[in-house]
Amino acid sequence: MRMILVGPPGAGKGTQAARLVETFKIPHISSGDMLRAAVKEGTPLGLEADRFMKAGQLVPDEVVIGMILERIKKVDCAKGFMLDGFPRTRPQAEALDKAMKEAGVALDSVVVIDVPDALLEERAVGRRTDPVTGTIYHLKYNPPPAEVADRLVHRKDDTSEAVTTRIQKYHSETAPIVPFYEQQKILKRVDGVGNPDEITKRLVAALS
């Protein structure tokens, strides 16, 4: 299965992707995780991406497109993959489409996780990640156990200001990819309001 998870910041893409890849046995490819790893390692790509990410802006298309197209050529993606956070602009969607056509493969599904803007800021600002296990917690809705609390990371772009910019960018830059996939008849929408287990069930039903 080759699929894409789309949703605004705080929609639960990362949490749900981690669960879905267990069910569907495909690699989880998160452009945000790859960029954060590059920033941490201080690679040239990371150095370029860092200033955009801190401000909640999108990293330029040419940087992200090259990174993802290289990644999906790897052998672990031969039978499928789940993209999370890519494509995020119409040129990214078109570049992915072209590369997949050239490779003779096609997307099976693009799933949009819908969450109203009013809920997103609180979800993103309260988010904390465990750098050891990659588990995503929320201080109020999914509190971390005491033994991991001291090591949790608060993303630099999960501040109220950066989240507001990221939500605006989602509407102006990412929403235009929806009609692109609607035309291809592979778009599905899932209600992202509720507890994570319920939302996983909705996603699995939409994908199965």
DSSP category for residue 153: B
Burial of 131 (0-12, 13-18, 19+ CB in 10 A): exposed
With CB under 6 A as the contact rule, the residue among 52, 90, 105, 159 that binds ligand AMP is 52
Nearest to 29 by CA among 76, 91, 63, 98: 76
- Catalytic annotation, pick one of 2, 36, 127, 128: 127
- Catalytic residue flag (residue 88): yes
Within a 13 Å sphere around the CA of 120, how many CA atoms are in the beta-carbon half?
23
Assess 9 for contact with ligand AMP (CB under 6 A): yes
Assess 128 for contact with ligand AMP (CB under 6 A): no
Q: Angle, to 10 degrees, between the axis of helix 90-103 and the axis of helix 61-71?
A: 30
Beta strand extents in 11-56 (DSSP E only): 28-30
- Catalytic residue flag (residue 166): yes
Assess 180 for contact with ligand AMP (CB under 6 A): no
Assess 12 for contact with ligand AMP (CB under 6 A): no
Span of 31-39, 112-120, 179-187, 191-199 interacting with ligand AMP by CB under 6 A: 31-39
Residue nearest to ligand AMP (CB): 32
Q: What residue type is assigned to position 182 of the chain?
A: E
CA 192 to chain centre: 14
Residue 70 backbone dihedrals phi, psi, to 5 degrees? -65, -45
- Catalytic annotation, pick one of 36, 123, 128, 155: 155
Shortest Å distance, C-beta 32 to ligand AMP: 2
Distance in angstroms (rounded) separating the CA atoms of residues 160 and 14: 19
With CB under 6 A as the contact rule, the residue among 92, 113, 129, 199 that binds ligand AMP is 92
- Catalytic residue flag (residue 90): no
Assess 59 for contact with ligand AMP (CB under 6 A): yes
Pairing of strands 127-129, 28-30: unpaired
- Catalytic residue flag (residue 127): yes
What are the residue numbers of the active site? 13, 88, 127, 155, 166
Judged by the rule CB under 6 A, the positions of this chain that interact with ligand AMP are 9, 31-32, 35, 52-53, 56-59, 64, 85-86, 88, 92, 157, 166
